[in-house]
Amino acid sequence: MEEPKIIFEDEAIVVVDKPSGFIVYPDGKHDYPALSHWLEKRYGEGGFHFVHRIDRETSGVLVVAKTDEAYAALKEQFKDREIKKVYRAFVHGALKEERGQIERPIGSARGGRGPRSATRPHGVERQASTVWKRLHNGGGAAYIEAFPKTGRTHQIRVHCAAIQHPIIADVLYGPGREKLLGFERLALHALSITVTHPTSGKEVTFIAPLPADFIRAEAELRKP
């Protein structure tokens, strides 16, 4: 399996390009490789703090704090919705519109366990907003850029499924669908994140290059 890569590092933060297949923390149920273990080998136990997470099958950029001060500053930015994130995804079905915005609250499934829902939520509902832009249609699928304005669990996955365009190879929110474009994992990539650096105070953007499966899928999608 591909190893994580360091995109940027200084005394306050380390920015990682997480490959699909790595879980952020071990869940005690599966033997997935954990990004926390990979970081412990570099910084020791307690030498870093996760500010946010992305799903195991999702690839892409992740910002990790190396000090308590950096952690507190970045958590405050997430709380105040000052962080800007951009995702790329391949979804089922052609999109007629060039761009759109999904404004649907997300709640837990019945009983509070299992997948989230934006169509039949139960329990606590949380307001959620996702802006999307179509990059290309082709082969019964669409390639999109997604800009989550809130940070709910599985937000992009839930919202895409709610408008009947689930992400390709999403077995939780698009079960039974054909895995198009050669994807065997969730076709979601965290492309970039923009934060205010906790030490310098400057706005900085970090980018995780598109992985090989995304590059191949885009070439396939664009075939005449």
Angle at CA of residue 213, ends 143 and 49, nearest 5° = 95
User: How many C-beta neighbours within 10 Å does residue 216 have?
Assistant: 14
Which residues are paired to 108 by β-bridges? Answer: 122
User: What gap in Å lies between CA 209 and CA 190, rounded to an integer?
Assistant: 9
Angle at CA of residue 124, ends 123 and 127, nearest 5° = 135
What is the DSSP secondary structure assignment for residue 21, as one 8-state letter? Answer: T
Q: Which positions are catalytic? A: 55
User: What gap in Å lies between CA 93 and CA 174, rounded to an integer?
Assistant: 12
